[in-house]
Chains A and B, each alone.
Chain A
Amino acid sequence: MAERLIEFKPEIEDLARLEGELEAFGEEAGFEAKLIWQLNLILEELLTNTLSYGCVKSSDCWIKVALRQEGGILTIILTDNAVAFNPAVSGKADITAGLEDRKIGGLGIHIVTSFVDELAYKRIGDVNHLTLIKKI
């Protein structure tokens, strides 16, 4: 079993720490490079969304990422006090239109849902709780 709690400041620049944190966690958990790569992508997409849209007006925004690997299950729990946002019901990404009509919106969440097996959201008080489960 491996566990890691990572706290981020509400600044895109702070996401530069993500890669190193995940490599350390992945090493402890015995993950293959590909899984660390996917985990990095999942978290970057989610945290970038929160920082770009959720934390804009609140300088006292906080974000926590709890990672836990037990057996073949990786659980990722994101909590933050940003604006309420449920990725499970966000708009569907456009992944079929031709080049001319293709829009970019929603791709990040589409990538996240493609790489995880379960995604559950709840808002408790002023806090977003997002739980992701990935079978490994």
Chain B
Amino acid sequence: MQVEKSLSSNVTILSVSGRVDSGNAKDFEKSVLPEVSGANNGLILDGGSLEYISSAGLRVILMVAKSAQQSDTPFAVCALNDEIVELFSITGFDAIITLEPTIEGALAKFNSG
């Protein structure tokens, strides 16, 4: 699991790659949760290279979404593979977290909103 940070139009993009499981969910949390406070213009979690995530990782995404909501920070998760999109649906995460097929789509949404 790796998390890389970049900026686009002042929006923070965190690109996560590899596998997030119970063995490294704590590292994932340390890499992404503190980024919410500095991402006033929006935070995108780019899952384009995310291969696998279990409930331990979903828990971290929920914490990020709650933190972003509290600080009025726009938040979206992008580019998930089909299996992970299905997992978001099964767990009802798709009803509380904005999913976008592409980073560009999320950026456009942030800028229009």
Contacts and interface: CB of A to CB of B under 8 A. Distances in A.
A13 B56 CA distance: 14
A48 interface: yes
B21 interface: yes
Interface string B73-113: 00000000011000100111001110000000000000000
Contacts of B52: 37, 40-41
Contacts of A100: 66, 69
Given A100-B69, A104-B59, A44 B22 contact: yes
B103 to A, nearest CB: 22
Given A48-B54, A100-B66, A107 B59 contact: yes
A90 interface: no
B21 A44 contact: yes
A45 B87 CA distance: 13
Interface of A: 12-13, 15-16, 19, 34, 37-38, 40-41, 44-45, 48, 52, 93, 95-96, 98-100, 102, 104, 107-108, 110-111, 114-115
Interface of B: 19, 21-23, 52, 54-56, 58-59, 62, 65-66, 69, 82-83, 87, 90-92, 95-97
21 contacts: A34-B83, A37-B52, A37-B83, A38-B83, A40-B52, A41-B52, A44-B22, A44-B54, A48-B54, A52-B22, A96-B92, A98-B96, A99-B97, A104-B55, A104-B59, A107-B55, A107-B59, A110-B91, A111-B87, A111-B90, A114-B90
CB-based closest 10 A-B pairs? A95-B92, A99-B96, A48-B22, A107-B55, A108-B55, A104-B59, A114-B90, A44-B54, A37-B83, A12-B23
